[in-house]
Chain A
């Protein structure tokens, strides 16, 4: 494996008494499409939230492109990162949420150009042109002037994908992005994700309950339980011929 773009090294995370990740190690290769599956409370969302810096690890280090994310080097020692370091390393990552979290006071295109203009410092005209391309790519060119409240869940989620992509991240995180959608809207969002996977050089980490999609889309599937990786491998193996009995039990429960 080439130099990993993301590395979890001995990461642990607790919420009060509950340990959600323990001594967690994971390397993710550039351009890899990684699907993360596991029962509720297994720590799979925490994995993404740690990587987006929405949570702080209690132990261990997460590296992005070789640089520590929540920490920085000072006199040869790792100390807590300051805002400047955090924002520099975080710029490689973007995230799509289960509940979209679009900015309700902005139009669809307003949501997409917000980061490029105010965070990346892009010229407005350029940001608008790119946002229009991205909205077109997710099939929403005609909805650019709509506010989130005027869009369906599937449309909102596709705007959210365009918004994350507009930040030109190296790593995109998808946190159960179809779980809040009506069944008939799931397909359009998955199609948008497939398209990004095909057309962009980008690492994608997806926490998902869509087993069929994970099998077809991901280069690797990891099954997490109790804050540890129980089983991993190509989707066809982990999802169709799981070796570990806990994976088997989980898949039986999910697939019915």
Chain B
């Protein structure tokens, strides 16, 4: 029994999964930072826009969002190819959770840091960029890591809108060969391998964002 003969097909699928994951992560980061910072704005309307985005994308299922963008948007004249729908829907979904991660970490920076930046006559934007966000980053990294792994697993959903990702390929092979045990065990390990890469990268990012801060330990 040579389970390795399934590997090339599955790796093709895994490559699609990786591409969707990376693009969705980038979109999620962007949306997370934008919506998280907007939630902290002094302007009511800005906060409201961010809240609406976060509540809608957090409060509805990722699968329904995917279907909606794939099957409903064409009725409004917007037809996107499945791949684009896949990473945009997942990125928007995870970005909504990320918005709360960003907001929470920023609000956890001690009040004195804001006061010190006012005492240096910084503008709000400069204080955010130079003082507050750099100190909030280390606290954001672990929850973002969780979200990225959730996102990776959620990419399996895109197989339902005709994208030939890892899960799609697995089902295809299974239908052809009925080698269910071998195929899905292999798929399990491929997802795990990708997840471990994400974990490893986040460890490095955590160390990098915490440099300086980490010295002397937690106070």
- Judge whether B135 and A105 touch: CB under 8 Å: yes
- Judge whether B112 and A119 touch: CB under 8 Å: no
Q: Is B104 an interface residue (CB 8 A)?
A: no
Residue of B116, B123, B124, B215 touching A147 (CB-CB under 8 A):
B215
**How close is A30's CB to chain B, nearest CB, in angstroms?**
20
Q: Is B212 an interface residue (CB 8 A)?
A: yes
**Chain A residue with the shortest CB-CB distance to B219:** A149
Residue of A91, A104, A119, A149 touching B135 (CB-CB under 8 A):
A104
Which of the candidate stretches B6-14, B88-96, B126-134 sits at the interface with the other chain?
B126-134
| Count of interface residues, chain A, beta-carbon cutoff 8 Å | 29
**How close is B132's CB to chain A, nearest CB, in angstroms?**
10
- Judge whether A106 and B122 touch: CB under 8 Å: no
Q: Is A226 an interface residue (CB 8 A)?
A: no
Q: Is B181 an interface residue (CB 8 A)?
A: no
Interface residues as binary, B96-131 with A (CB distance below 8 Å gives 1, 0 otherwise): 000000000000001011011011111110100011
**How close is B218's CB to chain A, nearest CB, in angstroms?**
10
**Chain B residue with the shortest CB-CB distance to A167:** B120
**Chain B residue with the shortest CB-CB distance to A163:** B120
Q: Is B77 an interface residue (CB 8 A)?
A: no
A101–B131 Cα distance when bound, in Å, is 11
Residue of A87, A150, A164 touching B216 (CB-CB under 8 A):
A150
Residue from the set B118, B119, B122, B124 with the largest chain A CB neighbour count within 10 Å:
B119
- Judge whether A105 and B212 touch: CB under 8 Å: yes
**Chain A residue with the shortest CB-CB distance to B211:** A105
| Contact residues in A for B112 (Cβ distance below 8 Å) | 97, 99, 101
Q: Is B73 an interface residue (CB 8 A)?
A: no
**How close is B217's CB to chain A, nearest CB, in angstroms?**
8
**How close is B205's CB to chain A, nearest CB, in angstroms?**
15
Q: Is B213 an interface residue (CB 8 A)?
A: yes
**Chain B residue with the shortest CB-CB distance to A106:** B212
| Contact residues in B for A149 (Cβ distance below 8 Å) | 213, 215-217, 219
**Chain B residue with the shortest CB-CB distance to A166:** B120
- Judge whether B123 and A87 touch: CB under 8 Å: yes
- Judge whether B121 and A119 touch: CB under 8 Å: yes
- Judge whether A114 and B115 touch: CB under 8 Å: no
- Judge whether A97 and B121 touch: CB under 8 Å: no
| Contact residues in A for B217 (Cβ distance below 8 Å) | 149
- Judge whether B120 and A119 touch: CB under 8 Å: yes
- Judge whether A94 and B119 touch: CB under 8 Å: yes
- Judge whether A53 and B212 touch: CB under 8 Å: no
A243–B219 Cα distance when bound, in Å, is 45
**How close is A85's CB to chain B, nearest CB, in angstroms?**
12
| Contact residues in B for A2 (Cβ distance below 8 Å) | none
| Contact residues in B for A198 (Cβ distance below 8 Å) | none
A95–B115 Cα distance when bound, in Å, is 9
- Judge whether A150 and B120 touch: CB under 8 Å: no
Residue of B123, B124, B134 touching A105 (CB-CB under 8 A):
B134
Query: Contacts A115-B122, A118-B130, A119-B121 hold; do A101 and B215 have CB atoms under 8 A apart?
Result: no
- Judge whether A95 and B119 touch: CB under 8 Å: yes
| Contact residues in B for A214 (Cβ distance below 8 Å) | none
**How close is B156's CB to chain A, nearest CB, in angstroms?**
38
| Contact residues in B for A54 (Cβ distance below 8 Å) | 115, 118-119
Q: Which of A108-145 contact B (CB under 8 A)?
A: 114-115, 118-119
| Contact residues in B for A115 (Cβ distance below 8 Å) | 120-122
| Contact residues in A for B113 (Cβ distance below 8 Å) | 101, 103
Query: Contacts A102-B116, A104-B212, A167-B121 hold; do A114 and B130 have CB atoms under 8 A apart?
Result: yes
Q: Which 9 A-B pairs have the closest CB atoms?
A: A149-B216, A115-B120, A101-B116, A101-B112, A95-B119, A105-B212, A105-B134, A147-B215, A90-B121
Query: Can you list 11 A-B pairs, Cβ within 8 angstroms, ordered by A?
Result: A52-B115, A52-B118, A54-B119, A94-B120, A97-B112, A103-B116, A104-B135, A104-B212, A119-B122, A163-B120, A167-B121
